[in-house]
Every structure is written in structure tokens, then in C-alpha cells.
């Protein structure tokens, strides 16, 4: 995932928001839960963050290539 965070938000805030909202969405969509998520963990506690400077185009190309590779591999699983 490659995202840009405005300086007024901390990395921890943004990662916490993404992890929280996505866990709730996954639980509602795939586990049929509507509420009562307390005490449950979906994501690991940690995360890794790094900055991107001049290599942003290279990283974007890598991510796009990975998406295509994942699609190719999932098509192979169908046979």
C-alpha cells in the first residue's frame, strides 16, 4: 500500500484508522457480524512504515506489477 499522509496526521493515527475500519468491514462482510467487536483482533499489533523520495515511481511500478502477478497466479489456480 502506498499512501500519502498530510503532516497534520500521525502515521499511527492513519494506520490505526485503516486497520480498524478494514477489520470492521471484513467482519461485517465475511463473518456476518453487525456489532460487538470488542476483544477481537484481526490485524497484528505492529506495522512497518518507510518514506518514499525519489524512488516513488519505482515503488508504484512494483505495486502495479504485483497486482498483475497476483491476478495471473489466481487465474492459474482456477485450472
40-75 burial: b if 16+ Cβ within 10 Å, else e: eeeeeeeeeeeeeeeeeeeeeeeeeeeeeeeeeeee
Decide if 62 is catalytic.
Answer: yes
Residue in 9, 47, 48, 62 annotated catalytic = 62
- Report the catalytic residues: 62
Amino acid at each position: 500500500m502506498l499512501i500519502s499522509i498530510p503532516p497534520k496526521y500521525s502515521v499511527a493515527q492513519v494506520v490505526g484508522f485503516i486497520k480498524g475500519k478494514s477489520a470492521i468491514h471484513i467482519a461485517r462482510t465475511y463473518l456476518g457480524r453487525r456489532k460487538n467487536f470488542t476483544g477481537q483482533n484481526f490485524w497484528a499489533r505492529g506495522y512497518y512504515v518507510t518514506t518514499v523520495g525519489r524512488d516513488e515511481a519505482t515503488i508504484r511500478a512494483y505495486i502495479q506489477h504485483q497486482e498483475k502477478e497476483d491476478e495471473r497466479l489466481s487465474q492459474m489456480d482456477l485450472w
